[in-house]
Chain A
Amino acid sequence: MKLLRIFDANAKNNWTSTSGRRTPETAEILRTALLIGMTFVVLAPVIWFTLSSFKGLAELGGRPHFLPQSFSLDNYSEALKSYNYKRYFFNSVFVTTVATILTLVINSMAAYAFAKYNFRGRDGLFVLTLAMIMIPLQVILIPIYLVVAQLGMVNTYWGLIIPAAATPTGVFVIRQYMLTIPDELIESARIDGAGEFRIYARIVLPLARPALAVVAIFSILWRWNDFIWPLLVAQDEKFYTLPVALAQLNGRLAVPTNIIIAMSVMSIIPVLFMFVFMQRQIVQGISQTGMK
């Protein structure tokens, strides 16, 4: 509502932004003020939470202060020492890495077939792939769990990695990109006697690098933040990934809040790195496919 009101204020100024010249200052100031407000709403909770991780339990239970009254790293050392943080962290790193590599390999293979081969049933299989986006995990939670249980994959790394590795969006993104690779390149490689797999691995994959990068980034985000799937598969604490560990520990009264906060902050650091350094690919991925 507030936003709309600011627009009305803008309208009165009758400015023509399309020419980029006569922009009145008030509109620019109002816009910037609004966006600074938005920045505050987005960043303030995260900054507050991060600062909380340096506060002692006594301080967290008292009147709230913005800056820690007594700055200490005790929460972090306690989380590393008395809790299995390193194990959860390892699990998350391992599952994310292996699942992302697997996703890149099998998605790009399927994408290559869809983009560069004519074969019976191709269009049907491609439509089927896209239709799979319509069946979210949440809808088939119980049957998929029963399948995984029957295959003996509960409490295994494979159970965490394999079922979510074949992403329909990944196939789609890579296929769209591979369509732009000229067929002549592949034909001439064939004439030179290169095998089919070799053409895919040595010629097509390197050329599809931009698309692979986008899929890799999103796969890392998906796997790192994934909750509901590892929650089902990792029932033994040994296999907890970070989100599962955080949710489960948070549910236990015996685990103090300060530990949970410190663990949470540590878990978002890798994501923040990607946020800072991979912006272009992320924006590209979001705006092209609507994936998150």
Chain B
Amino acid sequence: MLIKKASRRGSSVSWSRRLVPYLFVAPNFAIFLTFIIWPAIRGFWISFFDSTDGVHFKYVGNANFKEILHDPTISQVARNTITYVFFYVLLAITISIALALVVNEQKFAKGFFRAILFMPVMLSPVVVGLIWSDIVDRKHGPLNAAIKMLGGGAPGWLVDTNLGMVTVVFVGLWVHVGFYSIILLAGLQGIDRSVLEAASIDGASRMQTIRQIILPLLKPTTLVIIILATIHGFQSFDFIYTLTGGGPLGATTLIVQYIYERAFGVPIRYGLGSAAGVILFLVIFAFTALNFIVGRRRNAV
């Protein structure tokens, strides 16, 4: 048997056997090439052209990028996106870590609460937008009815420009926070119990244990969450589309909706939209790399 095995591993392996692994990866890579790699290259290329029909392309150099830097509509979109991502990531990290710590300690009905955590992320974002637009409706929604009962006014959650952003950030968190907590819970379970026991024997308080032992040990998982939340933040589009439609007055229009509208809304500008896509890619890439480098360096110290 050994001899047979050896001979099969030798150079006598037929060319058809050597071809096998390539055949196995071929279907997957045919799709990767056609629908991810080629479009990615082409998108970069198109960003230097102008086209309103996808058939005729006119070379314009870096005019699209220049326009993006100077156009007031796009600077509003950029401001919205940065505001959204900043608050979304900050709050998502804080709340998901706190929730994970709480659920991890929980004994009564732990499985139930853990299930509740990831329920929202399973719902269609389009439906999530519809659900919340029903809840926060100014006149007929239960939220304002409750606020009124407590003696408050009737805030225009989807009408006021600032509140619109608050609502969108909140719903984004509602969808994802529990999902992040589930990942963090897995990280918490990986922490060696004897370290925690040693801390408690040494008389460390609860808060000290969390700050000085659990959080540092949880850092690799936290880094994953920061990266995921940053990417999710920059990609947000679908629930916002049915929640606010990007309004009021464009106050919640983020970059992805802008790209979508340049391809399918008036005026159609494929080149400009592609340029925005290239910038989005570079921004996401830069943030991910930055998170990674900063996280690494801190770990090394």
Q: Which residues 256-301 in B have Cβ within 8 Å of A in the complex?
A: 256, 259-260, 262-264, 270, 273-274, 277-278, 280-281, 284-285, 288
Q: Which residues of A contact B115 (CB under 8 A)?
A: 275, 279
The answer on a CB contact under 8 Å between A290 and B224 is yes
Nearest CB in chain A: distance from B36 CB, A: 6
- Tell which of A6, A28, A109, A274 touches B25, judged by Cβ atoms closer than 8 Å: A109
Q: Which residues of A contact B4 (CB under 8 A)?
A: 191
- Tell which of B28, B124, B256 touches A268, judged by Cβ atoms closer than 8 Å: B124
Q: Which residues of B contact A43 (CB under 8 A)?
A: 116, 119
The answer on a CB contact under 8 Å between A35 and B205 is no
Q: Knowing A42-B174, A45-B135, A141-B263 touch, does A110 contact B193 (C-beta < 8 A)? A: no
Nearest CB in chain B: distance from A168 CB, A: 8
> What is the chain A residue whose CB lies nearest that of B127?
A264
Q: Does B217 contact A (CB under 8 A)?
A: no
Q: Which residues 112-163 in B have Cβ within 8 Å of A in the complex?
A: 113-127, 130-132, 134-135, 140-142, 145
Q: Which residues of B contact A35 (CB under 8 A)?
A: 102-103, 106, 109, 113, 116
- Tell which of B31, B46, B142, B179 touches A163, judged by Cβ atoms closer than 8 Å: B31
Q: Report the separation of the CA atoms of residues A164 and B28 in the bound assembly, to the nearest whole angstrom.
A: 11
The answer on a CB contact under 8 Å between A147 and B39 is yes
- Tell which of B27, B140, B235 touches A61, judged by Cβ atoms closer than 8 Å: B140
Q: Knowing A41-B174, A141-B273, A196-B17 touch, does A48 contact B142 (C-beta < 8 A)? A: yes
Q: Report the separation of the CA atoms of residues A182 and B117 in the bound assembly, to the nearest whole angstrom.
A: 36
Q: Report the separation of the CA atoms of residues A138 and B260 in the bound assembly, to the nearest whole angstrom.
A: 8
Q: Which residues of B contact A225 (CB under 8 A)?
A: 122-126
Main secondary structure of the interface of A (DSSP, over half): helix
Give per-residue flags for A143-169: 1 if the beta carbon is below 8 A from chain B beta carbons, else 0: 111111101000000000011111010
- Tell which of A7, A113, A142 touches B277, judged by Cβ atoms closer than 8 Å: A142
Nearest CB in chain A: distance from B224 CB, A: 6
Q: Which residues 166-188 in A have Cβ within 8 Å of B in the complex?
A: 166, 168, 171, 187
Q: Report the separation of the CA atoms of residues A24 and B127 in the bound assembly, to the nearest whole angstrom.
A: 42
Q: Does A282 contact B (CB under 8 A)?
A: yes
Q: Does A127 contact B (CB under 8 A)?
A: no
Give per-residue flags for B227-267: 1 if the beta carbon is below 8 A from chain A beta carbons, else 0: 01001000101100110010000000000100110111000
Nearest CB in chain B: distance from A275 CB, A: 5
The answer on a CB contact under 8 Å between A38 and B39 is no
Q: Which residues 103-140 in A have Cβ within 8 Å of B in the complex?
A: 105-107, 109-110, 112-114, 117, 119, 122, 125, 128-129, 132, 134-136, 138-140
The answer on a CB contact under 8 Å between A271 and B122 is yes
- Tell which of A61, A138, A162, A271 touches B237, judged by Cβ atoms closer than 8 Å: A138
Q: Knowing A15-B206, A146-B42 touch, does A138 contact B259 (C-beta < 8 A)? A: yes
The answer on a CB contact under 8 Å between B134 and A48 is yes
Report the contact-size class of chain B (Cβ under 8 Å from the partner): 35 or more
Q: Which residues of A contact B46 (CB under 8 A)?
A: 142-143, 146
Q: Does A232 contact B (CB under 8 A)?
A: yes
Q: Does B60 contact A (CB under 8 A)?
A: no
Give per-residue flags for A227-245: 1 if the beta carbon is below 8 A from chain B beta carbons, else 0: 1100110000000001100
Q: Does B200 contact A (CB under 8 A)?
A: yes
Q: Does A3 contact B (CB under 8 A)?
A: yes
Nearest CB in chain A: distance from B281 CB, A: 4
Q: Does A87 contact B (CB under 8 A)?
A: no
Q: Does B186 contact A (CB under 8 A)?
A: yes
The answer on a CB contact under 8 Å between A227 and B126 is yes
> What is the chain B residue whose CB lies nearest that of A46?
B131
Give 9 closest A-B pairs by Cβ, nearest first: A287-B186, A166-B31, A143-B43, A113-B24, A117-B21, A143-B39, A3-B98, A225-B124, A110-B28
Residues of B within 8 A of A (CB): 1, 4-5, 8, 17-18, 20-22, 24-25, 27-29, 31-32, 34-40, 42-43, 46, 54, 94-95, 98-99, 101-103, 105-109, 113-127, 130-132, 134-135, 140-142, 145, 174, 176, 178-179, 182-183, 185-186, 193, 196-197, 199-200, 205-207, 210, 224, 228, 231, 235, 237-238, 241-242, 245, 256, 259-260, 262-264, 270, 273-274, 277-278, 280-281, 284-285, 288
Q: Could you list 29 A-B pairs, sorted by A, with CB under 8 Å?
A: A15-B206, A18-B199, A19-B200, A32-B106, A39-B113, A42-B117, A45-B174, A46-B123, A48-B134, A109-B27, A132-B37, A135-B40, A136-B231, A138-B235, A138-B237, A139-B43, A140-B277, A141-B259, A142-B273, A146-B46, A147-B42, A164-B35, A166-B29, A225-B122, A225-B125, A243-B124, A264-B127, A282-B122, A290-B183
What 8 additional pairs, Cβ within 8 angstroms, besides A3-B98, A18-B197, A243-B238? A7-B210, A35-B102, A46-B123, A135-B40, A141-B263, A200-B24, A279-B115, A288-B186
